[in-house]
Amino acid sequence: MATLLLSPTFIVLVLVIVYPLLSAVYQSLFSAESGLDADGFVVEGESFVGLGNYADIFAGAESGRFYNALWNTTFFTFVTVALETVIGVAFAVAMNRAFKGRAFLRAAILIPWAIPTAVSGLLWRWIFQSNGIANDLLNTQVLWTAEGFAAQVAVIIAEVWKTAPFIGLLVLAGMQLIPEEVYEAAKLDGANAWKQFVSITLPLVRPALLVAVLFRLLDALRMFDLPFVLIGPRKSSVETLSILAWDESNQLQYGTASAFAIILLVYVALIAFVFIRVLGADVVGDADKQAEKAARKQAARAAKEAGR
C-alpha cells in the first residue's frame, strides 16, 4: 500500500533529479582539454582527472574565491533565514488575527513572494541605484550596487523581503491546527498575550515552522538570481556558490562547474541534516500514534504552564 502511494513521487523525482545528478557527478571527474590545435580549433575531448577538480577547488590557486563564495553563501543563508523567520512569524501572527481588512493584509503579505524574482531583482536594482529612491529617502550617497558591505545589505534586504511571506504562510497554516481551547484554558489562568505566544503558539507551530525554515535553508543556500541581477556576477562581496558554478559553466569549464554543484549539494545536505538532527528530530521521526497524543499532552501542559 505504502509502495503504491509513494512510487509515483519517486518516479518523478528520479526522472528530474537522478539523471542530472549522476551526470554531474560523472562530469565532475573530467576536465575539458585546454588549448588549441595548429589550426586554432579547440582540442576536443575531455580527460579523466579523478578528484582533481575537487582538489583544485579546495586547495588550488583559485581556492580563495571558493572559500569566499562559501562564506558568502553561509553568511547570506543564516542572516536572511534568521530575519525571515522572525518576520515570517510576525506576519503569521498578524494574519491570524481577526480584524476588518485582514483579507487585504494577507494578499499584501503574499505580494513580495508572488513577484517573479527576475522582475523583483530589477526592481531592487533600480531602487538601490546610486541616484535611486533608496538613497533619496535615506538622504545618502551609498553605492549599493558596487562592491562591499552595502551590496550585501542590499541583497539581504531584498531577499528577506521576498521570502519572509513563504515562512509566514506556512506558519499561519500551522497555527490553524492549534485548538482554541488551549488558549481559553491559558486565558482562564490569566496568561497574557506574550506568554500565550511563547508557551502555546510557538511550541505548537514548531513542526510547521521547522519545515518552512528547512525549505528556506535549502533555497537560500542555492541563492542565485537575486545577487546576480541586483549586484551582478563576479562581485566578490556577493558571490555565492551557485553564482560561482554558473560562472564556471559560462566559461565552458563544465568539470569544475559540476564539482561546484556537487560540493554545494553536499553542503546543503549537511546543513539540512544538522538542522534536522539538532532542531527537528520529530519532523523526520517515524509517525506513530503517540505523536498526536503527545502533541495534545504538550498542548495541555503548555496551557497549564502559561497559566502559572
Partner 1 sequence: MTALTERDLIATSGARTGADARSPRKRTRGVGGAITRWVGIAIVAVYCLAPFYWMLVSSFRTTNDIFDTSLLPTTWSLESYAQVFDSSNDFGRSLLNSLIVAGTTTILALVLGIFAAYAIARLKFRFKSGILAVIIATSMFPGIAVVVPLLRLFTDIGWINTYQAMIVPSLSFAIPLAVWNLTTFMKQLPHDLEQAAMIDGCTKWQAFTKILLPLAAPGVFTTAILTFIHSWNEFIIALSMANDPAIQTATVAISKFTGASDFQAPFGAQMAAGVVVTIPLMIVVLIFQRRIVDGLTSGATK
Partner 2 sequence: MMQRRRDRRIVVGLAFAAAAAITLTACSGSGSSGGSTPAAEATLEGTGPIQYVSSPDASGAAQATIDAWNAEHPDEQVTWVELPLDADQQRQQMVQNAQVEGSSYSVLNLDVVWTSEFAANRWITPLPEDALPVDELVPATVEAASYRDTLYGAPYYTDGALLYSRTDLLTAAGVTAPPETWAEMQAACDAVLALPQAAGVSCYAGQFDKNEGLTVNFSEAVASAGGSLFDAEGKPTVDTPEALTALEFLVDGFESGMIPRDAITFQEEQGRQAFQEGKLVFLRNWPYIYKSLSATDGSSSVSGNFGVSAIPGEDGPGVSTLGGRNIAISSYAENKATALEFIAFFTSREQEQERLALSSRAPVFPEFFEDQTVTASYPYLPTLLTSLDNAQPRPKVVAYGATTAAIQDEIYAALTGDKTPDAALADLQTKLTEITAG
Q: Which spans of this chain sit near partner 2 (rule: CB under 8 A)?
A: 14, 18-19, 21-23, 25-26, 34-36, 39-42, 44-46, 129-131, 141, 143, 145-147, 232-235, 247, 250-252, 254, 273, 277, 281, 284-285
Q: How far is the CB of 287 from partner 1 (least distance, A)?
A: 5
- DSSP single-letter state for residue 130: T
Q: How far is the CB of 227 from partner 2 (least distance, A)?
A: 13
Category of 192 on φ-ψ map: left (φ > 0), alpha (ψ -120 to 50) or beta: beta
Residue found under cell 574565491 = 65
Rounded Cα distance between 211 and 167, Å, is: 9
Q: DSSP 3-state helix, strand, coil percentages of the chain (rounded to 5)?
A: 75, 5, 25
Angle formed by the axes of helices 63-96 and 149-175, nearest 10°: 40
- Cβ closest to partner 1, residue 26 vs residue 36: 26
Which residues within the stretch 213-252 sit at the binding site for partner 1 (CB under 8 A)? 214-215, 218, 222, 224-225, 241-242, 245-246, 249
Using rule CB under 8 A, residue 261 touches partner 1: yes
Q: How far is the CB of 281 from partner 2 (least distance, A)?
A: 7
And the C-alpha cell for 80? Answer: 536572511
Select from partner 2, partner 1, none the partner in contact with residue 113, using the beta carbon and a kind-dependent cut-off of 5 to 8 Å: partner 1
Q: How far is the CB of 110 from partner 2 (least distance, A)?
A: 27
Which residues within the stretch 116-145 sit at the binding site for partner 1 (CB under 8 A)? 116-120, 122-124, 126-127, 129, 131-133, 136
Select from partner 1, partner 2, none the partner in contact with residue 239, using the beta carbon and a kind-dependent cut-off of 5 to 8 Å: none
Residue found under cell 563564495 = 69
Nearest to 79 by CA among 251, 264, 223: 223
Piece in contact with partner 1 (CB under 8 A), picked from 53-61, 74-82, 231-239, 286-294: 286-294
Q: How far is the CB of 37 from partner 1 (least distance, A)?
A: 25
- Cβ closest to partner 1, residue 91 vs residue 144: 91
Buried b (16+ CB within 10 A) or exposed e, 17-42: eeeeeeebeebbbbbbeeeeeeeeee
Select from partner 1, partner 2, none the partner in contact with residue 247, using the beta carbon and a kind-dependent cut-off of 5 to 8 Å: partner 2
| C-alpha torsion angle, residues 78, 79, 85, 91 (rounded to 10) | -160
Using rule CB under 8 A, residue 63 touches partner 1: no
Among 148, 203, 207, 232, interactor with partner 1 by CB under 8 A? 207
Among 146, 188, 284, 308, interactor with partner 1 by CB under 8 A? 284
Q: How far is the CB of 118 from partner 1 (least distance, A)?
A: 6
- Cβ closest to partner 1, residue 7 vs residue 36: 7
- Cβ closest to partner 2, residue 105 vs residue 276: 276
Buried b (16+ CB within 10 A) or exposed e, 63-102: eebbeebbebbbebbebbbebbbebbbebbbebbeeeeee
Select from partner 2, partner 1, none the partner in contact with residue 242, using the beta carbon and a kind-dependent cut-off of 5 to 8 Å: partner 1
And the C-alpha cell for 211? Answer: 519545515
Residue 218 vs residues 37, 120, 149, 222, 306: alpha-carbon distances, Å = 43, 20, 24, 7, 34
Rounded Cα distance between 144 and 151, Å, is: 5
